[in-house]
Structure 1
């Protein structure tokens, strides 16, 4: 069942099994607010098991680009096509959120972003490779984020 993310009344719907469910819900709401304000897009997530193609896409990009395998269980995923950009997000049980920004025009921006929910440890698979910058959010507390540029074609 899909869930329209409400960034005014943050809910843990679909994220209850996460040990940092409240912070992950705030992070998801922060993303929803960004997409509403920047693109007037309604951020709607789906249980990961209902959209395996989205989870597989993010998994493939991570593996092919950096040899990364996320150990945590994916809980939710979503995809948006806005302003010629394909945005694919996966939210994991550990509190990690991964997004793939992929401009459809050749030569455009293409990157993978990682965001860590407040209160979670840096996942072992990311700890040695990435440094995380901190950002304050009214919805999510402190978000730690990092990214890398995608070089391949997906």
Structure 2
């Protein structure tokens, strides 16, 4: 199951090497609160090194769909199966949070979302994206962007 993320007592555990550890921890806690409130799902993370096959799957989607390579190393990963949807979250040392929503059924929603916490500039590789802002009690102002996944990328 990994390390359960507490959205009441926000912790930087697992994110300490990020220059944006506090803001990234708030972003991660914001995701945990969303999943608890929307799906009654416990949001947990594991070190990215322990889920290299999941990180490789995310990297493959980014490369094949948009020619993207995230320059920053991944720190933590959350893998969830909620209502027939694979939800993968990757939290990067740069402060970037990325999620992949991949409905396994044909015709379902599939997208990649990017979130940036307060104080973080968009990584150079994501400069072509337009960013919307949202307020979060846990993460301050979050900037987000996304793209729809058009190809087939089943997880093995």
Partners of 1:2 and 1:94 lie apart in 2 by 22
How many residue pairs match? The answer is 153
1:100 maps to 100
Partners of 2:83 and 2:103 lie apart in 1 by 9
Write the deviation string for residues 72-131 of structure 1: whole angstroms up to 9, x where unpaired.
01000011010111101100000001111011110010000000111111100001x201
Alignment of 1:57-76 (within 5 A): 57-76=57-76
TM-superposed CA distance for 1:136, in Å, is 0.4
Q: TM-score, normalised by structure 2?
A: 0.96
1:106 aligned counterpart, secondary structure? coil
Partner of 1:36: 36
Runs of 4+ in 1 over 2 A off after TM superposition: none
Hey, what's the Cα distance between the residues in 2 that align with 1:90 and 1:134?
20
CA–CA separation in structure 1 for the residues paired with 2:35 and 2:108? 19
- Which runs of 5 or more structure 2 residues have no equivalent in the other structure? none
**SS state of the match for residue 77, structure 1?**
strand
Q: After superposition, where does 1:1-154 map in structure 2 within 5 Å?
A: 2-127=2-127, 129-154=128-153
Displacement of 1:30 in angstroms is 0.2
CA RMSD of aligned residues (A): 0.9
Equivalents in 2 of 1:54, 1:14: separation in Å? 18
